[in-house]
Structure 1
Amino acid sequence: MPSTKKTLHFVSSALVTAKSVALLGFGMSRKWSETTIECARSGSNFFNGSAVVTLQLFNGNMDRIFCPTFGGSADFQVIPKLAETTVTPLALHAMAVCLLVLCLVFSACSILISLYNSVSNPYETYMGPIGIYTCSSLSACLSVVTLIIFVVNVNVTSMAEDLVKLYADNIPVDLRNKSTEMGLRILPGHPLHSALSRRHRFDLHVRPRSLHTEERTAEAY
């Protein structure tokens, strides 16, 4: 059995990771971006209308004011609606969702490994601190990659413009001056913070050792 100190370390590791998973789930349910675009009927050069595209991970809202004629507000599901536009925005958004799912999976693995090591001798393999570091690092890195992909999708591709044109009632429109406000935050308790905090809790030294040395170490635990 591990010592009380190591048990507390592994249990606290599981709790910190569980907190990061809860924060990640909370972030997935919140507003991710809000894009405002000036709008005018095609060829008129009279940009008196606007459209605001608000995106969450799975749901969105389109709020139009004189774009191109009357306004209106409509809720939509992001992935089915993006399927009606070009391929690139849909592919990037689907990739972001898949990476977030992997973040949750690796975080769950980190929790399970931490709990397992809290009641058994810590292993210097993928079932020990190495596994915790690896899962936490992968979760943190994938979440950062997800943020980058989403920002690129909103600001670089024509996703917002394509969505506005879908709601333009089949009337050609001209769009300009796109501005985007990101609603994303990297919160304390993010998997990256979890990985860094755990890094100071374990003293892991992986080096070749004799069988006799390993047996003595196991007895010490």
Structure 2
Amino acid sequence: MPSIEKILYFMSSGLVTSISVGLLGFGMSEQWAEATMSCARGGTGFFNGSAVIILDLFNGTLQRNFCPGFGGQEKFEVIPTIIKKEVTPVVLHILMVFLLALCLLFSACSLLLSLYNSVSNPYETYLGPMGVYACSSLSACLSVVVLILFAVNINVTTMAESVVENFVGGVPVDLIDKTTKMKLGYFLVIPYVILSLISIGLIYAYDHAVYTHRREQQRPTEDAPKEIMMY
């Protein structure tokens, strides 16, 4: 049986990782952003309408108020809708979803390694701590990239404008004063990053404790007088 210390550290790391996976999975099903912009029929310069877009990763809702005409509310699928207008937002969005899938995969690998090592041979670790370091580090780094990509896509590119233009029936519109607000799904990625780093910290603490214990066992021999060692 492995030592109690090893069981506690690796089980704690596995628990933290499982919580992070649950948070990210829940976040992926929630709303990620809301974009609001002023709207006018193209060329009139009279901005009396507005459009509000609420996005999650795969679906969204568009609420139009005099943009143009009386507007209405439409539901849409994100990728099929924006691919009709712009290439860059589609590429960024698909890349972001792919990276999130990789985050879940690496976290699952980290979880499996932690659970396996918590019950494995007390003197051996299979791909851990290095395996946990690698998987959890990749999860944390990729999720940070996801945060940056989504913020760029919703704020810098014309992703939101493309959605509105797709639902105005071919009528040219002018869109200005875009404001964005990040929602729960986006912010849940942040604790996922933190928990991935905590998982690394727990295994590092175990690794450091093992190294310190090994050094203490070697010290009596290293500190012994030369006469005793010769004898």
Structure with the higher helix share, 1 or 2: 2
Helix, strand or coil for the counterpart of 1:39?
strand
CA deviation string 1:20-41 (max 9, x = no partner): 0000011111111100010001
**Aligned twin of 2:114:** 114
Q: CA deviation at 1:43?
A: 1.2
When residues 20 and 49 of structure 1 are mapped into structure 2, their CA distance, relative to the original with a 3 A threshold, is: same
Q: Is the 8 A contact 1:106 1:136 kept in 2?
A: yes
Match of 1:199 among 178, 181, 201: 201
Q: CA deviation at 1:203?
A: 2.3
**Aligned twin of 1:132:** 132
Q: CA deviation at 1:191?
A: 3.9
Letter in 2 for 1:163: V
CA deviation string 1:159-210 (max 9, x = no partner): 111111111111011111111111121567524333235414322478xx9x
Helix, strand or coil for the counterpart of 2:165?
helix
Helix, strand or coil for the counterpart of 1:163?
helix
Aligned mates of 1:91, 1:189 — CA distance in 2: 26
| Structure 2 gaps, min length 5 | 219-231
Q: Is the 8 A contact 2:37 2:52 kept in 1?
A: yes
1:41-190 alignment, distance < 5 Å: 41-121=41-121, 123=124, 127-183=127-183, 184-186=186-188, 189-190=191-192
CA deviation string 1:71-100 (max 9, x = no partner): 100111111112212110000000000000
Q: TM-score, normalised by structure 2?
A: 0.83
| Structure 1 gaps, min length 5 | 214-221
Helix, strand or coil for the counterpart of 2:51?
strand
Q: Is the 8 A contact 2:136 2:199 kept in 1?
A: no
Helix, strand or coil for the counterpart of 2:187?
coil
| Greater shift in the superposed pair: 130-139 or 91-100 | 130-139
Helix, strand or coil for the counterpart of 1:203?
helix
| Greater shift in the superposed pair: 92-101 or 158-167 | 158-167
Q: Is the 8 A contact 1:136 1:191 kept in 2?
A: no
| Greater shift in the superposed pair: 4-13 or 185-194 | 185-194
Aligned mates of 1:113, 1:29 — CA distance in 2: 27
Give me the CA root mean square deviation: 2.0
Q: Is the 8 A contact 1:16 1:189 kept in 2?
A: no
Q: TM-score, normalised by structure 1?
A: 0.87
Q: Is the 8 A contact 2:82 2:163 kept in 1?
A: yes
Q: CA deviation at 1:44?
A: 1.0
Letter in 2 for 1:92: L
Using the aligned pairs only, state the percent identity.
55
Aligned mates of 1:112, 1:87 — CA distance in 2: 38
**Aligned twin of 1:7:** 7
Helix, strand or coil for the counterpart of 2:197?
helix
Q: CA deviation at 1:11?
A: 1.3
When residues 191 and 155 of structure 1 are mapped into structure 2, their CA distance, relative to the original with a 3 A threshold, is: closer
Aligned mates of 1:164, 1:51 — CA distance in 2: 7
Aligned mates of 2:136, 2:18 — CA distance in 1: 11
Q: Is the 8 A contact 1:17 1:194 kept in 2?
A: yes
* Larger CA Rg, structure 1 vs 2: 2
Aligned mates of 1:103, 1:19 — CA distance in 2: 13
Aligned mates of 1:95, 1:141 — CA distance in 2: 14
Q: Is the 8 A contact 2:17 2:199 kept in 1?
A: no
Q: Is the 8 A contact 1:107 1:191 kept in 2?
A: no
Helix, strand or coil for the counterpart of 1:89?
helix
CA deviation string 1:117-153 (max 9, x = no partner): 011136466x111110111111011011001000000
| Greater shift in the superposed pair: 86-95 or 191-200 | 191-200
